[in-house]
A and B are shown apart, each in its own frame.
Chain A
Amino acid sequence: MRPAVCNRIDITVSLVGDTVAAVGILPRVKPPVGRLFAGKPAVSLLDVLPRLFPLCAAAHRVAFLSAIEAARGQEVSTMTRAHCTTQVVVERLTELIRGLIIEHLALDISGSAAIRALIKDNSVLVGREGYQSGPDRCAVTARVAAALAGLRISDDDGTLMPGSALALRMAALEGGVLEPKLTQQSFLSAADDCEIIERLLGRDARSGNCPDLEGRIPETGPWARQMLRDRLSLGRSGPAERLKARIAEIVQLFTWLKAGAHPETAEEGIVKSYSLGRGCGAAGVECARGRLYHAVELDRYGQIARFEYLAPTEWNFHKRGPLARSLQGAVLRARQHQEGAVRAMIASFDPCVAFTQKIVESGHA
């Protein structure tokens, strides 16, 4: 029984000389989750979300629960909201660290046990009752600290230990085989939630696969969040910048956890829900890859009448989106390293996206 869901993005880069003249992105087919669960109880979908999306299981679970609560018009307690925020942050932190290993092979033997412990148990510890005030919080903090030590990252300021695998990788990326153009950037934030949710629950069924906001296709993820924090919009978005943003965010989230994980000091918009009336609700959650949306409509029996979701990948890997913009017009200097440079650029948006790449010579401008 072979899984019949295509989970891969095909990317073609056309060169004229050493310059990227065109970028073709063939998106993956989004699994029709809403169609499969229409007419079923909400709990049936809640049960399968972690199995479908294990990389962002907590984010999906929180987004779905928040959307359902909003659809029912339920008030969410402060404690529940704090718990959801912590779950999302710890998963984001763990996923950002895992991404360093997958993208940059930053793991050496001495650090492997610490990374395994972090990935294996964090979700369990955070999911327990009394996490905020109990020993589980200390255990999670200690595991993140051990993982950062294993990766040779300072947990104070994100400095990389000279000579470490990650420091060497950073130096190679900064070497710049691929030089992207300095361009005006656009970033997704909670300020876009209402417009996106309106489109998700509107009649345009294609919006989930090819989103845009009045022609704007913003980037989402660690670099976008950093640019929003720093209030910048003009930037050169290469793999080195994205790796630095990823490391900076890991340290920032770790600092927040160590300080007690107080929801009032968490970044704005990590979890936001919207009650839309008539059994409709939606939520936006800031996960490792960027902003994730769920929108639900319940029928009069409380069953799922409609479920829509929008993943960060749909923005970042949109055919006219941030990846395409970053590659378009970029100069690829060393011909023998072009494949690796393009691969690094693609993976810098999301190390966990399955993709193929092809570089072709166009010949003429």
Chain B
Amino acid sequence: MCLSVPAEVARILPNDMAIVSVDGVRIEISIALVQDLAPGDYVLVHVGFALAKIDAAEARRTLKLLQELGRAGLETNS
């Protein structure tokens, strides 16, 4: 199953594109499927597309959860 990653919109580009930041790493994605985004908004990103707008608290919770899963995975494999 496909995990999605929360990202903060850094800059809106022409043609329904945007620069987003995933923990400081900037990537260019399509925002064609989500309306009314502005810098500072948070979105769920999956394979180069913004899937949905989420609030900042939700983004933090999801990032924390992914981090915990990552740590649990490392412990399982060590």
Chain B neighbourhood of A107, CB < 8 A: 32
B13 at the interface (CB under 8 A from A): no
Could you jot down 13 A-B contacts, CB within 8 Å? Answer: A2-B67, A3-B63, A3-B66, A32-B76, A36-B68, A48-B65, A51-B62, A54-B51, A55-B2, A56-B1, A313-B2, A351-B47, A352-B47
Do A352 and B66 touch (CB < 8 A)? Answer: no
Do B32 and A101 touch (CB < 8 A)? Answer: yes
Additional pairs, 12, CB under 8 Å, beyond known A7-B3, A35-B72: A4-B71, A4-B74, A5-B69, A7-B2, A31-B69, A52-B66, A54-B51, A101-B33, A115-B33, A119-B51, A120-B35, A354-B46
Chain A neighbourhood of B73, CB < 8 A: 4-5, 29, 31-32
- Given A51-B58, A54-B44, A54-B52, the answer on whether A5 and B70 have CB atoms closer than 8 Å is yes
Q: Which residues of B contact A (CB under 8 A)?
A: 1-5, 16, 22-25, 32-35, 44, 46-47, 49, 51-52, 58, 61-74, 76
Nearest CB on A from B21, distance (A): 11
- Top 5 A-B pairs, shortest CB-CB distance: A4-B70, A3-B66, A311-B1, A31-B69, A2-B23
Instruction: Give residues 46-87 of A contacting B (CB, 8 Å).
Output: 48, 51-56, 60
Compute how far the CA of A101 lies from the CA of B47 in the bound complex, rounded to whole angstroms. 12
Do A112 and B67 touch (CB < 8 A)? Answer: no
Compute how far the CA of A51 lies from the CA of B51 in the bound complex, rounded to whole angstroms. 12
- Identify A4's interface contact among B16, B62, B66, CB under 8 A: B66
- Identify B51's interface contact among A7, A32, A55, A289, CB under 8 A: A55
